[in-house]
A = this chain, B = another copy of it.
């Protein structure tokens, strides 16, 4: 199993195959850092420059990265577009969820985002912003959502196999804000609570003034493979607002799970029906 690595956690001492190393290089491209030079990416990945060069060359030969003319920096290549189109054609995920996500943002007047569990890491896949407020939560550059410190993370974690939860909680858990829960036992309790409620909530656990709520999403294989969340400034999160957002979330969550061909676990279905 791939090392669970997030935050500032340096993934040192890992022992991984060449392919994983190459694929990991792709992960260093982010919205905030779309172009990376050879030396930079070698440093980031903690790889030898020669190794890194060979990997990048091979990625480039296959269109997964490409070099922009000047300064020879690398960026993601066009191959991913083709593969993504193919994946979406077979398992509509982003395209299917996007309209629901947008209407959720509009309906709640807050920022909505959808995350996917990819290779044991929770990553945001799409965002939708509302024009309702001048101040909104932006998360353009978030690359990884820590399981223990976000509502999406908790929502997903609550519906994973026990072994997965254990693996996550066994790793060191970053104290991101003053209110981040980092005690494994307390987190377990928290997760059990999420399971009982059918949705998760986080008050400033990731960023101190952001309050968010999230629901788990289920795919056609019955797995909980993602989460849908609404994030707002803590100051805007009154009781009425929370109730409104929760309601919209449960609706939208049901909708996306259905679009994905998934089915809610029976207990969750009941919980959500009651709350509606």
Contacts and interface: CB of A to CB of B under 8 A. Distances in A.
Given A17-B58, A23-B64, A88 B81 contact: yes
Interface string A72-98: 000111111111111111110110000
Nearest to A118: B63
Contact of A83 (B16, B24, B84): B84
A93 B118 contact: no
Contacts of A88: 81
A238 interface: no
Contact of A86 (B29, B118, B222): B29
A81 B87 contact: yes
A1 interface: yes
Nearest to A68: B221
A15 B123 CA distance: 35
Interface residues of A, number: 53
A94 B87 CA distance: 15
Contact of A69 (B54, B86, B221): B221
B119 A63 contact: yes
A239 B152 CA distance: 59
Nearest to A22: B19
A21 to B, nearest CB: 8
A247 B9 CA distance: 56
A62 B125 contact: no
A76 B90 contact: yes
A118 B77 contact: yes
Interface of A: 1-2, 16-20, 22-24, 26, 29-31, 34, 54-55, 58-59, 61-64, 68-69, 75-91, 93-94, 116, 118-119, 123, 125-126, 221-222, 225
10 contacts: A22-B22, A23-B59, A23-B64, A23-B79, A31-B86, A31-B90, A77-B119, A78-B118, A80-B86, A85-B126
